Amino acid sequence: MNDHALRAEKLSRELDSAFRNRADLYRLFLDELTAELGAERAEAVMVRTIEKRGREVAATAFAGFGPNDALAIGEAFLSVSPDGGRMYPTHVEHGPDHIAFKVKRCPLKDAWIEAGVGEEKLATLCRIAGAFDRGLFEATGVRFANVTWTPGHGSGCCHIALANRDTA
C-alpha cells in the first residue's frame, strides 16, 4: 500500500473515532443531565441544543437553497457525507420534487450499542441525534420528515425525507 492509501486509511479510522467520541459525549451528557434534571428535561435540553447546531450548519451549508430545492439540498447533503459516504451508507430514492434516504449504518448508534446501551436509551439517543437533522433541514424551509431508530425498526438507522415546500 502506498503512503497516500495508508494516510487515507488512517484518516478514515480517525474520523470514525471522532464520531464515536461524539456519541460517547451525547451518552455521557444525557446521563449527567438526567441525574440533574430528570429524563424528560435532559432530553429536551439536548434536543434544543443539537437542533440549534443543525440550524447553524444549515445557514452556511444551504445558504443558496430555498424551500423548493429539496432534491438539490438532499444531493448536497449526500455529497458531503463523511468518508465519501462510507460512514453513513444510505439507500436513496429520488423524485422530481423530493428525496428520501434510509441510513443503513450510523457510527453514533454503533458506538452506543458497543457501550452496552439498552434499547430504550438507544432510541432516546437516536431521537436526540436526529435533532441535528431536523435543525439542518427545517432551516431550509423544505418539508422534512425523520423517523429515528426504535426497537423493531430493524438494523439500520434513521429514515429522512425532504420534499419541496410547495408540493401538494
To the nearest 10 degrees (0 to 180), the angle between helices 119-138 and 3-37 is 110
Q: Set out the domains of the chain in order of their start, with CATH numbers.
A: 3-163 (3.30.1380)
Q: How many Å apart are CA 16 and CA 91, to the nearest integer?
A: 20
Instruction: Give Dmax (Cα) for the chain.
Output: 53
Give Cα 49 distance to the centre of its chain: 14
The amino acid sitting at 108 is L
Q: What is the pTM of this model?
A: 0.92
Q: Over the chain, what is the mean pLDDT?
A: 94
pLDDT digits (tens, 9 = 90+) for 8-27: 899 889 988 999 999 999 99
Length of the chain: 168
Q: Residue 87: what pLDDT?
A: 82
Q: What is the pLDDT of residues 80-122, one digit of tens each?
A: 988 888 888 899 999 999 999 999 999 999 999 999 999 999 9
Q: Cell 422530481 belongs to which residue?
A: 96
Say what the pLDDT of residue 168 is: 67
Q: Compute the distance between CA of residue 143 and CA of residue 166 in angstroms, rounded to an integer.
A: 9
Query: Greater confidence, 2 or 45?
Result: 45
Predicted pLDDT at 141: 97
Integer Cα distance of 100 and 120 in angstroms: 26
Residue 1 CA to residue 149 CA, distance in Å, equals 38
Query: Is a pLDDT exceeding 90 seen at residue 67?
Result: yes
